[in-house]
Amino acid sequence: MNVFARWRPLAASEAVLEEIDRRTQNSKSCSLISVSIKRRRASSAEDRPWTSPAAFNTIFNPEDDNDKLYNNVVAPSIPKVLQGENCSFFAYGRSGSGKTHTVIGYDFQESKNLGLCLRTAKHLFDAFDDQNAYPGLGIGLSLFELRRKTAFDLLNKRTQCDVREGPDGKVHIRGETEMLQGGKVRVRPIVQQACWNFVSFQRKLVKALEQCATGSSSIHDESSRTYAFLQLEIVNQSLMDARNALFDRQSELVPVGKLATDIMVDEDTKSVIRGQDGEWVPNPDYQRDQTRINTIEAEKARFEARFSAAEEVIAAIIRSGPAPCLGAKMVFVDLAGAEYYEGNGFHSQVSKQTLQERQEGRQINTWSQSQKRIPFRASTLTMILREHFTSTGKGNSTIIVTVSPAAEQFAATLNSLKYASLVGAVKP
């Protein structure tokens, strides 16, 4: 896990405020950096100086723009993605600390001001077009928000989605159920829209972001109040078509599987009666209809085979695709900051944590200590992030913690740096 910190500039409303004293120090034993912060005028025990362990790869200063951040944090991963590896990037910090500016950016006219996600898309499309090295490739965009235990698909009119762990052990995010002709039932996953050029990608992303839930704080009126997940997958038309075919096979399988279950339950129910002692005993007046069961199980097996064949088609397309990067993913997560309100005002200094934060903190703690049992189910967020924190395959994960230099934000800045250093100081 690579860990970076980014100090944002003081906002216009903060220009007259005192700044946090801060300095960095290179470790003598490794290539990582530690950071020290303190308030110039401490007013309580919570304001005492603090120094992190050597945990950060780089610490960016307020004058460093998105262009420098991208070139140092994300650009080195692009060659890996073009070779088929997956990479993930998480922005963490209190609302108003610069997370959304870092991941998305607000000025879309200047390339140097684009956020990490848009710069990544532009970089990938440039690579696709370079001497036509990767013909027919595009980017499949997925974007959803997570609020408490519910996901909202921003590419599908904020459709409410369920987050569940499937029988395959993976976490699936499913949208609304569609009833189709012939009794077919389709449960769509999060929508993925294929983009074949950067202009299309930017237009779709910006339009989807208009549906983001936003709140207002005393620092920034565009601060997020939810977690935002953006996924960029390298796709081609064959892969998109095969995915749609898989959805069709699934819609055929669902009603057959339900009917098989209903028949089994019906036969089991008829096969027993309650005895005089209240216990369930075999029903002497009914013989289990095994032919009925075998018939529906054979039908179910036929549809399961069709579904498995559709899955294999997808795997074969990725294996034999025109480029090794087909199917590779880059994930960007804007982790919501936690603010607390007292009366009518915004207070970033309050140090108490919500139950959800404590649950998520336990997951980070146990993961950083390399413990065998990690409570990923403690929160919906950590369920979704499990794949990224426990991946032992190719690719890499990165956390970018964004912090404010304003002295009145000392407690929030301290907590954010502690959160990041907890992960960065331990290399599994």
361-383 residue pLDDT tens: 555 555 555 555 555 555 677 77
Tell me whether residue 391 is annotated as binding.
Answer: no
316 has pLDDT over 90: yes
214 shares its domain with 164: yes
Domain end point (choices 316, 338, 361): 316
220 has pLDDT over 60: no
378 shares its domain with 304: no
Distance between CA 163 and CA 167 in Å, rounded? 13
Residue 213 token pair: 């839930």
65 shares its domain with 156: yes
DSSP H helices in 277-409: 290-319, 355-368, 380-389
7 shares its domain with 99: yes
Write down how long the chain is. Answer: 428
**Helix (H/G/I), strand (E/B), else coil: 33:** strand
269 shares its domain with 385: no
Q: What is the CATH number of the domain that holds 111?
A: 3.40.850.10
296 shares its domain with 340: no
**Helix (H/G/I), strand (E/B), else coil: 373:** coil
Distance between CA 391 and CA 87 in Å, rounded? 10
283 shares its domain with 329: no
Q: 287 lies in which domain range? A: 245-316
Tell me whether residue 99 is annotated as binding.
Answer: yes
207 shares its domain with 354: yes
175 shares its domain with 95: yes
Phi/psi at 320 (5° precision): -110, 20
Tell me whether residue 217 is annotated as binding.
Answer: no
Distance between CA 132 and CA 38 in Å, rounded? 53
Among 115-129, 246-260, 315-329, 339-353, name the one with the lowest average pLDDT: 339-353
| Pair 231, 155: CB distance under 8 Å | no
pTM: 0.83
Q: What confidence category does residue 179 fall into, taking pLDDT thresholds of 50, 70 and 90?
A: confident
301 shares its domain with 416: no
More confident residue, 231 or 12: 231
Looking at residue 428, what is its pLDDT? 47
**What is the count of structural domains for the chain?**
2
| Pair 83, 127: CB distance under 8 Å | no
352 has pLDDT over 80: no
258 shares its domain with 400: no
Tell me whether residue 100 is annotated as binding.
Answer: yes
179 shares its domain with 277: no
Looking at residue 246, what is its pLDDT? 92
Looking at residue 409, what is its pLDDT? 87
Domain end point (choices 316, 337, 359): 316
Spatial neighbors of 344 by CB under 8 A, at least 6 apart, are: none
Domain end point (choices 291, 316, 341): 316
Tell me whether residue 95 is annotated as binding.
Answer: yes
Looking at residue 98, what is its pLDDT? 87
Spatial neighbors of 324 by CB under 8 A, at least 6 apart, are: 82, 83, 84
Share of the chain above pLDDT 90, in %: 46
Q: What confidence category does residue 302 fall into, taking pLDDT thresholds of 50, 70 and 90?
A: very high
223 has pLDDT over 70: no
The mean pLDDT value for 191-208 works out to 94
Residue 111 to residues 44, 77, 122, 355: CA-CA distances in angstroms?
Answer: 44, 19, 9, 40
116-135 residue pLDDT tens: 999 999 999 999 988 677 78
